[in-house]
Amino acid sequence: MSKLFFFFFIFLMGPLLAQCHTKGLRPGRELWRGLPTGKQQAANMTRDEYSEQQFMKWVNFVGSLKHSIFKAAKNKLSPSYTLTVDKNPAAGDFTSIQDAVDSLPFLNLVRVVIKVHAGVYNEKVNIPPLKSFITIEGAGADKTVVQWGDTAQTPGARGQPMGTFNSATFAVNSPYFIAKNITFKNTAPVPPPGAVGKQAVAFRISADTATFLGCSFLGAQDTLYDHLGRHYYKDCYIEGSVDFIFGNGLSLFEGCHVHAIAQYTGALTAQGRSSMLDDTGFSFIHCKVTGSGALYLGRAWGPFSRVIFAYTYMDNIIIPKGWYNWGDPRREMTVFYGQYKCMGPGASFAGRVAWSRELTDKEAKPFITLSFIDGSEWIEL
């Protein structure tokens, strides 16, 4: 029995123990073999042409990666049983979401659907690492709301500031999580420019293979903490002011509406990729960016930060430069920021920083389908 428990523990804790999600992280020698020296480089190949050639080798390498660390593991989509949550004790199994989660076995290995009836639920929710295969389903993002108001400076259990990580209204630490038709909200107000300790997370996902369908994420600074793992967001609404989609996940946002509520200057993303070997990044396809203030598409939180926007409408709130180097010019050499066939008054590439890219068809291909997150292995809509 103890050996079996150990196996399941390692199986479920994997996404938390690994900061990167790729098998064979180091590119094979064939990727780098044959790099020409100055004498070997063809006389008719300019430095720019040579750089472009090497860049395309890197793009092809990234496109060939398999990110799965659980290739044999499969998502469990058919519910074994369903629980209901309602503010009226007579109308549901539980009156709080956390109570419903706590009722599950310490080690959960079957799909459980928790249906949360319409209402505003004032509570913090935490799903622990071994309670996998949980679905949280609301009655509609405009009808079912989970909210709380902690910030990074809110005192924790020991009286010290709890920090950004623990400020989340709703935190998920287990794999194969699904959320549908529900709103996650942090009620902390928009902080003034330069304020310290005002990070206020509405939702944190710290596990692999999570799906979000028709959900809303409402907050100001640091609304959605896409911490680690592979994630798929479809038809979601995400609102905030500064770095309101951040973290080091490998995530695809499809058909999402991203809305800024910045008073002055804000940033949509702060992707935290810290190494060229990290297979992480954010890709936005067929999305819409609107709102107030002046907005950067992203800030280079990680020195190898990677963000792509494709087929996305951008309102005139986008700062022409598009991207910010986090005050470190060295990051301009290592980040990967790109646009592909975007539209709208804020989508013009003319004023973008020189270290971002307007992608070609070939360059964009690895980032604009479910294969970017190995979706065919675990997503079934």
Q: Which residues are catalytic?
A: 243
* Token reading at 357: 């890219």
Handedness of CA 299, 313, 229, 222 (dihedral sign): positive
Alpha carbon of residue 47 to chain centroid: 36
Contact yes or no for 202/218 (Cβ under 8 A)? yes
Exposed e or buried b for every residue in 363-378, given b needs 16+ CB within 10 A? bbbbbbeebbbbbebb
**Which whole-number Å values give the CA distances from 226 to 61, 205, 229, 251, 378, in the listed order?**
24, 6, 8, 8, 18
DSSP 38: T
Contact yes or no for 236/244 (Cβ under 8 A)? no
Nearest to 137 by CA among 85, 94, 92, 90: 85
Number of other CB atoms surrounding residue 124 within 10 Å:
17
**Which whole-number Å values give the CA distances from 250 to 15, 107, 229, in the listed order?**
12, 26, 6
* Integer Cα distance of 354 and 347 in angstroms: 15
* Integer Cα distance of 25 and 67 in angstroms: 9
Contact yes or no for 348/313 (Cβ under 8 A)? no
The end-to-end CA distance of the chain, in Å, is: 35
* Integer Cα distance of 134 and 207 in angstroms: 12
Strand partners, 358: 339
